[in-house]
């Protein structure tokens, strides 16, 4: 891989690339996470012909559809990025994600158009997954190709924070809408507002990315004729490279994803669906939990403090369960 000259300090140009790439990726994660955070409400509107438990499971399967197509998004847009450049591929992925999310916000429900509603919802979720699959790896590649020698790990690490920030942003917008509109109005029609807000984020993202320049490494490789002519064959057709891909996918990324999404969404669904904790309290608890997680290098004393804080937070949440839940358990 070609490289840019070594620079000891983080220059203004580097900061601009990192911030612009990270913001766009944050907005895409925001779009992607909205569905998961609102799955219980979406189940009522788009799978109303089914019993409540089955409707919720179908909503979760629709959520999973976005994950199933993410690898294909990485393949498709990774190839496109090698052909036309990183910048224009960025624009394509952000537009697909923004428009798909906006359309979820205006999509008629099952009560209006019948079976077409959940079908269209699945299609939009798949488009979101394709866009995110191309965006996340593309952002890391773009930043890495701007980084000086010896700094690629540091610079691309900022991209890894975007998922958490995107989750917090989605929870913040949802909490704001619930508070301003009231719970009944939010469940009826206000749940669409966070999806519609994504159109504003789309305009901001496109404006930011239009100001970016093409990756200098890509320009150099293309000028020298060194860019890959058959990236898929080189990545998967060669066992040496394919082995690294499988090791990264199944040995590292898959396990990380299980822990990450179980900690976010399974915990959220358990709080709201099983313990019947009100949605605002559950969202606040999930956000506070991930905000206060100790680093891997925390001392044992710090871990004991965190554990005590977790127990206190859990008792506070459980004390705010709905009266129906408490009476049923009694």
pLDDT tens-place string over residues 224-274: 777 777 777 777 777 887 788 788 777 777 777 788 888 888 888 999 888
pLDDT of 323 > 60? The answer is no
Phi, psi at residue 4, to the nearest 5°? -95, 160
Task: Decide if 321 is inside a domain.
Answer: no
Higher pLDDT, 315 or 238: 238
Residue 109 falls inside a structural domain = yes
Between residues 307 and 113, the one the model is more confident about: 113
Split at pLDDT 50, 70, 90, the class of 319 is low
Q: How many domains does the chain have?
A: 1
- Going by the DSSP 8-state scheme, the letter that residue 227 receives in this structure is S
Question: Residues of the chain with pLDDT > 70: what percent?
Answer: 83
Whether 31 is in a domain gets the answer yes
Token code pair at residue 168: 């917090």
Both ends of the chain: CA-CA distance in Å? 64
CA–CA separation, 227 and 116 (whole Å) = 43
Residue 302 lies in a domain: no
How much is the pLDDT for 100? 94
pLDDT at 290: 59
20 found inside a domain: yes
pTM: 0.80
Which pLDDT does position 314 carry in this prediction?
44
Q: Which CATH number is 41's domain given?
A: 1.20.1250.20
Q: What pLDDT, on the 0 to 100 scale, is given for residue 291?
A: 57
> Which string of DSSP letters, residue by residue, matches 1-65?
---BPP-SS--HHHHHHHHHHHHHHHHHHHHHHHHHHTHHHHHHHHSTTS-HHHHHHHHHHHHHH
Residues 90-102 have a mean pLDDT of 91
Asked if residue 126 belongs to a domain, the reply is: yes
How far apart (Å, rounded) are the C-alpha atoms in residues 214 and 195? Answer: 30
Q: Does the pLDDT value for residue 122 go beyond 70?
A: yes
Are 197 and 106 contacting, i.e. CB atoms less than 8 angstroms apart? no
pLDDT at 107: 96
Residue 300 in domain: no
What range defines the domain where residue 141 resides? 12-227
SS3 content of the chain, % helix, strand, coil (to 5): 80, 0, 15
- Supply the DSSP symbol for 269: H
The mean pLDDT of 108-116, rounded to a whole number, is 96
Give the CA angle between residues 52, 164, 197 to the nearest 5°.
65
pLDDT at 5: 46
Residue 28 forms part of a structural domain: yes
What pLDDT shows up at residue 199? 93
Over residues 169-190, the pLDDT tens digits come to: 998 999 999 999 999 999 999 9
pLDDT in tens, 49-78: 999 999 999 999 999 999 889 888 988 898
Q: Which of 232, 234, 261, 305 is nearest to 79 (CA)?
A: 232
Could you give the CA distance from residue 99 to residue 83 in angstroms, rounded to a whole number? 24
Comparing CA positions, the residue from 127, 123, 138 lying closest to residue 24 is 138
Contact 107, 120 (CB under 8 A): yes
Whether the CA torsion 11, 18, 176, 326 is positive or negative: it is negative
Summary mean pLDDT of the chain:
81
């Amino acid at each position: 891989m070609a490289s840019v000259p070594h620079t000891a300090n983080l220059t203004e140009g580097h900061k601009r690339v990192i911030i612009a790439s990270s913001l766009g990726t944050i907005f895409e994660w925001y779009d992607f996470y909205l569905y998961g955070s609102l799955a219980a409400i979406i189940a009522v509107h788009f799978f109303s012909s089914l019993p409540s438990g089955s409707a919720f499971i179908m909503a979760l399967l629709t959520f999973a559809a976005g994950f199933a197509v993410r690898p294909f998004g990485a393949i498709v847009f990774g190839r496109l990025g090698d052909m036309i450049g990183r910048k224009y591929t960025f624009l394509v992925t952000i537009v697909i994600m923004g428009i798909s999310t906006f359309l979820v916000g205006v999509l008629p429900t099952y009560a209006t158009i019948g079976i077409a509603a959940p079908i269209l919802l699945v299609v939009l979720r798949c488009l979101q997954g394709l866009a995110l699959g191309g965006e996340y790896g593309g952002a890391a590649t773009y930043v890495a190709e701007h980084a000086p020698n010896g700094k690629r790990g540091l610079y691309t690490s900022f991209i890894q924070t975007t998922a958490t920030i995107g989750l917090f942003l989605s929870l913040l917008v949802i909490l704001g809408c619930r508070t301003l509109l009231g719970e009944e109005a939010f469940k009826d029609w206000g749940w669409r507002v966070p999806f519609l807000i994504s159109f504003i984020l789309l305009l901001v993202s496109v404006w930011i990315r239009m100001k970016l320049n093409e990756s200098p490494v890509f320009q150099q490789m293309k000028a020298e004729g060194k860019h890959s002519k058959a990236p898929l064959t080189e990545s998967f057709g060669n066992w040496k490279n394919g082995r690294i891909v499988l090791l990264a996918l199944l040995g590292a990324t898959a396990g990380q994803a299980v822990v990450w999404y179980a900690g976010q969404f399974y915990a959220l669904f358990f709080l709201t669906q099983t313990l019947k904790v009100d949605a605002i309290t559950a969202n606040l608890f999930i956000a506070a939990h991930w905000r206060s997680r100790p680093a891997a290098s925390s001392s044992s004393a710090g871990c004991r403090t965190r554990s005590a804080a977790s127990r206190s937070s859990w008792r506070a949440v459980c004390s705010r369960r709905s009266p129906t839940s408490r009476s049923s358990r009694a």
